[in-house]
């Protein structure tokens, strides 16, 4: 339990008033570190999970903030209900607000209203850290050894030159990496500035606009849906429609109504308090006057931020960093071991000498792939640049490769997989189910379906137009975000334009109407034709609006100079037809939507239309609720009574839409043709719909409704009472009852309520997402949806985008299929019969369930720390037909990530997990994942800080681009390593032969360095530019055993290609020596170790000492050239790991230049006067270049053949690896079982065990196997052989 914080001073009267007037003494705790604050918060919450801050009570949240724990409960109650003397609770807009002196005192206590960033390192420290990587240190040590060698032997400058080159390589790569990371950090700072930076606050009785960071607890300000709450605040006064979406903190997508009243339950969790708004949430409608109660680190968002930083500090290194460190360890061990061995041998042969030490240093340096560090840096930098082109900001360059290793992607739904906005996607009219999105291909697109009765379609559009309150915001260009270009407002689609009123569904209906009303002649505008105003022009629109009305609805664009106006075409095209229609066909009465009744109604004056109805009441609401009091519908353009078939069709369509996770609204109209029980002339209508409608009857104190419930006094009555029709008679059942009870046919009549149809809303998938998910499936990457939405909604979207495949069946799918097969049952019975059918499923029916939609409430019952049968079963669906987690809390999302990462040794899947998130509730899971991905537009600061990369366009498809780039990085690094290591054998083998056979030294350390730091450097780096192989996204993610350096890569580079290169070098060396007069059989025992071929030694072979040295130098130069020539073939075969060069092509211009460069550099070193002397080379005759060419051709031919075998014998190799992975040992009777088991596992079935086979079956298989035994053994041997030489 945390200790009591040391008191600093007693609270002032001001500080007491901020939280209420009940503070009587106590010690004031100043702003502390957030980790201590979290301990204080949780002091009273015994056993509470610290990772789930949102489950804290309001009292827990503000405990220990200003007052000691012993008093905090009373203070928090006053926080919610107190009446500070600077606030007018009844009329907060008239409040005096804090004084400047009070604000300064509070600022001193609480600090700025900003999240304290993690400790920033100085730029110098960041730069110096680039030199501390394991690989950088290895090169620095190599440089120091060269300097030591130069100090020991100052006659030659080659070691000095080498040391300087190594230092330069490390420095350049450090500068390059530092610049890349600095650019990413600068971009992140730009993202953090997105959003409002100023807020109007009441100070000393005046409204002043201040920086958001200057807000202090106690400040009074007004909030609306144009800004997000800048801090945690108490609501003092709010409009009736004030609502907040808290998805960024809770994951809940629905708007929650808030107001000044406190919760009836004082211990209810903070976010459930009706009078509290929290920083970072989104206001969807209304406005409210608020008082700040928590700022900066003390907000709910601030505590999430603190926990995220603590978790991030414990995060492990990236996989690529581990791989590079592992590679360096291996290479260092090899280099040091070889160096020590050669040093010992040298000492044993010639004794201790400076030459022996220099020789050893040369061996060590020769084994270090100096170009790899530059290759890694260039690869990561190139990828970062490419990722920026696809709108992905890489904060940590190494994270891209991690994404390429990812085997599971846990993705949010809203805004990532979907477009982040509700859209009308389905409609039901005349009993027919229609698509409405996208409009270009929908069955109800720009116009109703051809041949259909258009009346109900047009009436539904009118109803949807008038039954709504959503409005577009004034014209504002979309700003540039994250490098994306800004877009002029007039070029934005309707659904891309900002709105100032309405919840997401209201906005969807508004866009639905705007798109279709614009399809009529002249854009649905009277007084406009072609591109100009034309008073005589008429439109055929169902709701024609005037050009003048459109003009009045279109404001000037923000930033325009005074007097500038829109031209006529822009007015007709871009002004809101819905807004103009609502003005020209006014609402004369309205019954607002009520969350309990779940419907709304408006009465509009349609006399300007000159139609059959002068006044019409329109109804919109929940499909079940509205349809229940509908009496009629349209058929062939006429109003007819609803039939049993109509009702059955409605029930089936309604269940079908709901099962797809759609939000369904019903639309109806009240036909007023029986007013007062008789036909009414149009002339009588105005008297009936008179001004009294604007003054509706209200419920009196204690008055009860039809259900006997006492209603709130002063609120409007929902139907006609006492002869004053408000929303007239939309409930036929109540109207008929009242008419019967009162006998008053003068004021009561039973109306016809005509059902018009259904509109179904959905946040539709992003267009590129289905293809991206398909690519992930091909790449064996499991995509899991983790959302706070309903399971039906989540499963429907998952099916649309391919997370649940077309063949996938969830529990609900199986239940629906069985319901349809039962006599007398239909989809209409789904809700009532679901549990019954589910419990009655047979074993084979349960086995047909191949996809899973798991609700969060089920996860809470599973083991939170280890794998159990529930987790094993659920996670297994990820690689079957699909897996969705719905209604998940932040803690549950974290558990999902952690269980995917549990090690295989502990029974888990041990996957590399990528997680997307945008809200503060996602920060913990994003931090815990191997790679965290945040949304750039919707993401909050906490999650952006936690993430390794940011999707600047919030698009899931960009993640797939990142996976490709990550795999490409790993591929190219392996290619570069394979290329670099191949030359180590021809570089080291001359020393081995030199010592063992005592021949003249075939290759000097200087020439080795000419290869490593000269001819090989550019080709090795050029592999970073190599484009992807065609099958890169058809491979499974690399496993934990698929390292940068594997046994197969060592086999390939050292024992296959390296050996051939060494043979080429020796062949060239001995060929030149033979051509110069030295027979190969005479050379063993005649080298430097025997005293020959040294400046002070005896002559050899009948030639002078100088001639000996010149011939040897000539042969050494030929050996150097042979390495260059065989590296031509090596660079070509390393372009691909699996595909043929003829498939990949020669499109890498940098690599083509590398081929030219290494050849040109070799020629420069050999033939330029003076240069050859420095490096101990001789000018070669052309014929001396030729011996190595056959070996180069051999390397290319050998590797193409090897790759062909790999591509055409995958089944043999895969079987062998599967057998090895399973730990199987072949015997006489079960070889055939293994083959059949492998085939079953590939089909997604469980592998059979011995218990699954009867004795008869075993005998039958044994007979089969005996005839195949010899062949099987040969196959196994071939597979083992091929595995050593296969895909590296």
pLDDT at 465 over 90: yes
Question: Which range, 578-587, 750-759, 838-847, has the best average confidence (pLDDT)?
Answer: 578-587
CA 174/CA 157 separation, integer angstroms: 26
Supply the pLDDT for residue 885. Answer: 93
Token readout for 235 is 């609501």
Closest CA to 269 of 60, 64, 61, 56: 56
Supply the pLDDT for residue 410. Answer: 94
Supply the pLDDT for residue 444. Answer: 93
Q: Are 303 and 36 in contact (CB under 8 A)?
A: no
Closest CA to 285 of 581, 505, 513: 505
State the pLDDT confidence band at 4, using cuts at 50, 70 and 90.
Answer: very low
Per the prediction, the chain carries an average pLDDT of 77
Find the range with the poorest average confidence among 587-596, 679-688, 1232-1241.
679-688
Higher pLDDT, 120 or 462: 462
Tell me if the bond preceding 1024 is cis, omega within 30° of 0. Answer: no
Average pLDDT in the 782-806 region?
88
Looking at the chain, the whole-number percentage of residues with pLDDT higher than 70 is 75
Find the range with the poorest average confidence among 577-591, 851-865, 991-1005, 1221-1235.
1221-1235
Supply the pLDDT for residue 252. Answer: 62
Supply the pLDDT for residue 742. Answer: 61
Supply the pLDDT for residue 828. Answer: 72
Residues 6 or more apart whose CB falls under 8 angstroms from that of 201 comprise 97, 207, 208, 209, 210, 215, 219, 220, 221
Average pLDDT in the 1219-1230 region?
45
pLDDT at 790 over 60: yes
CA 12/CA 5 separation, integer angstroms: 18
Tell me the per-residue pLDDT of 513-561, one tens digit each, with 9 for 90 and over: 999 999 999 999 999 988 889 989 999 999 999 999 999 998 888 778 8
Supply the pLDDT for residue 543. Answer: 94
pLDDT at 20 over 80: no
pLDDT at 1156 over 90: yes
pLDDT at 1267 over 80: no
Closest CA to 632 of 756, 733, 731, 738: 756
pLDDT at 67 over 50: no
Supply the pLDDT for residue 588. Answer: 73
Cβ atoms within 10 Å, residue 496: 13
pLDDT at 1200 over 90: yes
Supply the pLDDT for residue 517. Answer: 94
Supply the pLDDT for residue 1261. Answer: 65
Give CA separation, 905 vs 319, 908, 973, in Å: 19, 7, 29
Q: 3-state SS of 801-853?
A: HCCCCCCCCCHHHHHHHHHHHCCCCCHHHHHHHHHHHHHCCCHHHHHCCCCEE
State the pLDDT confidence band at 43, using cuts at 50, 70 and 90.
Answer: very low
Torsion from C-alpha of 300, 306, 310, 315, nearest 10 degrees: 80
Supply the pLDDT for residue 1228. Answer: 39
CA 695/CA 725 separation, integer angstroms: 10
Q: Are 476 and 490 in contact (CB under 8 A)?
A: no
Coil/strand/helix, residue 698: strand
Supply the pLDDT for residue 718. Answer: 53
State the pLDDT confidence band at 328, using cuts at 50, 70 and 90.
Answer: confident
Tell me the per-residue pLDDT of 902-942, one tens digit each, with 9 for 90 and over: 988 888 898 999 999 887 767 778 888 888 898 877 777 77
pLDDT at 604 over 70: yes
Question: Which range, 248-252, 703-707, 877-881, 1149-1153, has the best average confidence (pLDDT)?
Answer: 1149-1153
Supply the pLDDT for residue 1047. Answer: 82
Q: 229 pairs with which residues across the strands?
A: none
Looking at the chain, the whole-number percentage of residues with pLDDT higher than 90 is 22
Supply the pLDDT for residue 18. Answer: 42
Average pLDDT in the 387-414 region?
82
Supply the pLDDT for residue 689. Answer: 39
- By annotation, the residues acting in catalysis are 412
Q: What is the CA radius of gyration of the chain?
A: 39
State the pLDDT confidence band at 896, using cuts at 50, 70 and 90.
Answer: very high
Cβ atoms within 10 Å, residue 1018: 19
Higher pLDDT, 672 or 1159: 1159
Tell me the per-residue pLDDT of 733-784, one tens digit each, with 9 for 90 and over: 665 665 666 665 555 556 788 999 999 998 888 888 999 999 999 899 999 9
Supply the pLDDT for residue 1219. Answer: 52
Supply the pLDDT for residue 1075. Answer: 93
CA 382/CA 359 separation, integer angstroms: 38
Coil/strand/helix, residue 455: helix
Q: Are 1136 and 1151 in contact (CB under 8 A)?
A: no
Higher pLDDT, 951 or 784: 784
State the alpha helices, DSSP H only, in 908-956.
923-928, 941-946
CA 1070/CA 1051 separation, integer angstroms: 26
Long-range contacts of 1175-1179 (CB under 8 A, 24+ apart): 1175/158, 1175/1006, 1175/1007, 1175/1010, 1176/1004, 1176/1006, 1176/1007, 1176/1113, 1176/1116, 1177/1007, 1177/1113, 1177/1116, 1177/1117, 1177/1120, 1178/1110, 1178/1113, 1178/1114, 1178/1117
Q: Are 770 and 648 in contact (CB under 8 A)?
A: no
Average pLDDT in the 1242-1267 region?
59
| Pairing relationship of beta strands 423-429 and 752-762 according to DSSP bridges | antiparallel
Supply the pLDDT for residue 1206. Answer: 79
State the pLDDT confidence band at 680, using cuts at 50, 70 and 90.
Answer: very low
Listed in order, strand segments (DSSP E) in 246-388 are 255-257, 276-277, 282-285, 287-294
DSSP letter for 2, please: P
Residues 6 or more apart whose CB falls under 8 angstroms from that of 1286 comprise 1048, 1202, 1206, 1213
CA 461/CA 474 separation, integer angstroms: 24
Q: Are 401 and 963 in contact (CB under 8 A)?
A: no
Closest CA to 1115 of 1072, 1162, 1074, 1075: 1072
Token readout for 62 is 């503000």
Higher pLDDT, 733 or 1049: 1049
Find the range with the poorest average confidence among 408-422, 449-463, 1230-1244.
1230-1244
Find the range with the poorest average confidence among 204-208, 466-470, 724-728, 1098-1102.
724-728
Higher pLDDT, 254 or 338: 338
pLDDT at 900 over 90: yes
State the alpha helices, DSSP H only, in 193-299.
247-250
Supply the pLDDT for residue 269. Answer: 55
CA 1086/CA 237 separation, integer angstroms: 101
Q: Are 224 and 244 in contact (CB under 8 A)?
A: no
Closest CA to 217 of 87, 88, 91: 87
Q: Which helix (H) or strand (E) holds 54?
A: none
Tell me the per-residue pLDDT of 557-582, one tens digit each, with 9 for 90 and over: 877 887 788 999 999 999 999 999 99
Torsion from C-alpha of 853, 858, 864, 866, nearest 10 degrees: -60
Supply the pLDDT for residue 21. Answer: 29
| Pairing relationship of beta strands 255-257 and 243-245 according to DSSP bridges | antiparallel
pLDDT at 971 over 80: yes
Find the range with the poorest average confidence among 389-393, 402-406, 470-474, 1196-1200.
389-393
pLDDT at 803 over 50: yes
């Amino acid at each position: 339990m945390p200790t009591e914080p040391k008191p600093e001073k007693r609270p002032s009267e001001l500080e007491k008033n901020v939280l209420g007037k009940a503070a009587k003494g106590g010690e004031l705790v100043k702003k502390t570190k957030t980790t201590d604050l979290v301990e204080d918060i949780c002091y009273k919450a015994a056993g509470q999970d610290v990772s789930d801050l949102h489950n804290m009570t309001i009292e827990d949240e503000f405990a220990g903030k200003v007052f000691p724990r012993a008093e905090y409960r009373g203070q928090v109650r006053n926080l919610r209900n107190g009446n500070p003397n600077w606030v007018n609770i009844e009329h907060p807009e008239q409040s005096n607000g804090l004084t400047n002196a009070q604000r300064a005192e509070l600022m001193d206590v609480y600090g700025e209203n900003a999240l304290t960033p993690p400790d920033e390192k100085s730029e110098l420290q960041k730069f110096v850290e680039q030199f501390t990587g394991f690989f950088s240190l290895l090169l620095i040590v190599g440089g120091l050894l060269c300097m030591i060698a130069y100090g020991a032997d100052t006659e030659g400058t080659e070691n000095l030159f080498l040391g300087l080159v190594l230092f330069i390589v490390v420095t350049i790569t450090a500068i390059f990496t530092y610049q890349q990371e600095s650019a990413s950090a600068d971009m992140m700072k730009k993202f953090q500035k997105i959003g409002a930076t100023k807020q109007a606050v009441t100070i000393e009785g005046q409204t002043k606009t201040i920086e958001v960071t200057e807000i202090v607890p106690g400040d009074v300000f007004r909030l609306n849906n144009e800004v997000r709450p800048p801090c945690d605040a108490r609501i003092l006064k709010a409009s009736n429609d004030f609502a907040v979406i808290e998805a960024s903190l809770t994951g809940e997508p629905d708007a929650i109504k808030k107001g000044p009243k406190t919760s009836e339950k004082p211990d209810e969790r903070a976010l459930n308090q009706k009078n509290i708004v929290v920083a970072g949430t989104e206001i969807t409608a209304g406005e409210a006057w608020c008082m700040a109660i928590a700022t900066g680190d003390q907000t709910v968002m601030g505590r999430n931020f603190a926990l995220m930083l603590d978790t991030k500090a414990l995060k492990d290194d990236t996989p690529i960093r581990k791989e590079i460190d592992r590679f360096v360890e291996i290479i260092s061990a090899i280099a040091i071991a070889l160096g020590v061995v050669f040093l010992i041998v040298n000492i044993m042969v010639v004794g201790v000498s400076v030459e022996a030490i220099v020789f050893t240093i040369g061996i060590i340096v020769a084994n270090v792939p100096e170009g790899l560090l530059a290759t890694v840096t260039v690869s990561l930098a190139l990828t970062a640049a490419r990722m920026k082109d696809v709108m992905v900001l890489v904060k940590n360059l190494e994270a891209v490769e991690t994404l390429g290793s990812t085997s599971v992607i846990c993705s949010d739904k809203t805004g990532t997989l979907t477009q982040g906005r509700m859209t009308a996607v389905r409609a039901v009219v005349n009993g027919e189910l229609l698509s409405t999105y996208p409009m270009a291909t929908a069955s109800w697109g720009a116009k109703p379906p051809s041949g259909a009765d258009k009346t109900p379609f047009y009436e539904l559009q009118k109803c949807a137009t008038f039954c709504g309150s959503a409005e577009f915001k004034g014209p504002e260009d979309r700003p540039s975000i994250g490098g994306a270009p800004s877009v002029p407002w007039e070029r934005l689609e309707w659904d891309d334009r900002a709105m100032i009123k309405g919840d997401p569904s209201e906005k969807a209906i508004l866009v639905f109407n705007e798109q279709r009303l614009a399809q009529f002649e002249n854009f649905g505008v009277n007084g406009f034709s072609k591109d100009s105003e034309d008073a005589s022009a008429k439109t055929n629109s169902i709701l024609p609006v005037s050009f003048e009305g459109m003009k009045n609805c279109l404001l000037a664009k923000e930033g325009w100079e005074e007097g500038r106006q829109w031209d006529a075409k822009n007015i007709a095209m871009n002004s809101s037809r819905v807004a103009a229609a609502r003005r020209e066909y006014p609402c004369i009465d309205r019954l607002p939507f009520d969350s309990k009744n779940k419907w709304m109604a408006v009465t509009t004056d349609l006399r300007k239309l000159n139609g059959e109805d002068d006044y019409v009441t329109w109804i919109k609401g929940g499909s079940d609720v509205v349809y229940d009091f509908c009496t009629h519908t349209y058929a062939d353009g006429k109003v007819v009574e609803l039939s049993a078939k109509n009702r059955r069709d409605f029930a089936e369509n309604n269940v079908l839409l709901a099962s797809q996770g759609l939000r369904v609204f019903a639309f109806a109209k009240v036909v007023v043709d029986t007013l007062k029980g008789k036909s009414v002339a149009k002339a009588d209508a105005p008297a009936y719909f008179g001004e009294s409608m604007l003054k509706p009857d209200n419920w009196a104190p204690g008055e009860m409704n039809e259900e006997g419930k006492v209603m709130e006094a002063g609120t409007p009555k929902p139907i006609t009472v006492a002869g004053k029709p408000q929303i007239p008679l939309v409930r036929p059942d109540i109207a008929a009852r009242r008419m019967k009870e009162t006998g008053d046919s003068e004021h009561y009549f039973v109306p016809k309520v005509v059902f018009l149809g259904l509109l179904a809303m959905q946040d539709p998938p992003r267009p590129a997402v289905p293809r991206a998910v398909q690519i992930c499936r091909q790449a064996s990457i499991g995509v899991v949806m983790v959302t706070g939405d309903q399971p039906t909604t989540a499963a429907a979207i998952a099916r649309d985008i391919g997370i649940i495949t077309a063949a996938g069946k969830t529990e609900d799918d199986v239940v629906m299929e069985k319901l349809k097969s039962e006599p007398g049952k239909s989809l209409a019975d789904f809700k009532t019969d679901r549990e019954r059918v589910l419990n009655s499923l047979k074993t084979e029916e349960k086995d047909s369930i191949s996809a899973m939609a798991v609700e969060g409430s089920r996860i809470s019952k599973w083991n939170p720390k280890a794998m159990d049968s529930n987790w094993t079963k659920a996670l297994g669906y990820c690689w079957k037909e699909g897996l969705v987690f719905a209604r998940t809390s932040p803690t549950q999302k974290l558990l999902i990530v952690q269980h995917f990462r549990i090690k295989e040794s502990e029974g888990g899947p041990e996957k590399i997990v990528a997680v997307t998130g945008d809200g503060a509730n996602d920060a913990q899971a994003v931090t815990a994942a191997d790679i965290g991905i945040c949304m750039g537009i919707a993401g909050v600061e906490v999650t952006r800080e936690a993430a390794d990369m940011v999707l600047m366009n919030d698009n899931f498809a960009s993640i797939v681009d990142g996976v490709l780039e990550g795999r490409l990085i790993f591929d190219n690094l392996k290619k570069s390593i394979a290329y670099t290591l191949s030359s180590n054998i021809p570089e080291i083998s001359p020393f081995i032969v030199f010592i063992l056979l005592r021949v003249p030294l075939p290759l000097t350390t200087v020439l080795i360095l000419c290869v490593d730091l000269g001819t090989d450097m550019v080709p090795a780096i050029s592999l970073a530019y190599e484009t992807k192989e065609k099958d890169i996204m058809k491979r499974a993610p690399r496993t934990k055993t698929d390292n940068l350096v594997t046994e197969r890569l060592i086999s390939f580079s050292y024992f296959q290609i390296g050996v051939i290169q060494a043979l080429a070098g020796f062949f060239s060396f001995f060929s030149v020596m033979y051509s110069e007069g030295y027979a190969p059989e005479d050379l063993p025992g005649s080298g430097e170790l025997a005293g020959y071929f040294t400046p002070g030694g005896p002559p050899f072979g009948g030639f002078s000492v100088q001639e000996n040295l010149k011939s040897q130098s000539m042969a050494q130069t030929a050996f150097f050239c042979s390495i260059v020539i065989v590296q031509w073939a090596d660079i070509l075969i390393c372009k691909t790991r699996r595909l043929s060069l003829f498939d990949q092509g020669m499109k890498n211009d940098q690599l083509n230049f590398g081929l030219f460069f290494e050849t040109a550099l070799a020629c420069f070193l050999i033939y330029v006067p003076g240069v050859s002397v420095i490096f101990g080379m001789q000018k070669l005759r052309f014929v001396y270049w030729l011996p190595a060419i056959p070996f180069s051709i051999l390397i290319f031919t050998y590797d193409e053949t090897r790759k062909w075998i790999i591509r055409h014998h995958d089944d043999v190799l895969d079987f062998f690896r599967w057998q090895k992975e399973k730990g199987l040992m072949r015997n006489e009777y079960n070889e055939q079982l293994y083959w059949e088991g492998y085939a079953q596992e590939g089909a997604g079935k469980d592998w059979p065990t011995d218990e699954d086979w009867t004795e008869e079956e075993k005998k039958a298989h044994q007979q089969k196997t005996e005839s195949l035994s010899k062949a099987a053994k040969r196959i196994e041997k071939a597979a083992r052989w091929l595995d050593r030489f296969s895909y590296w």
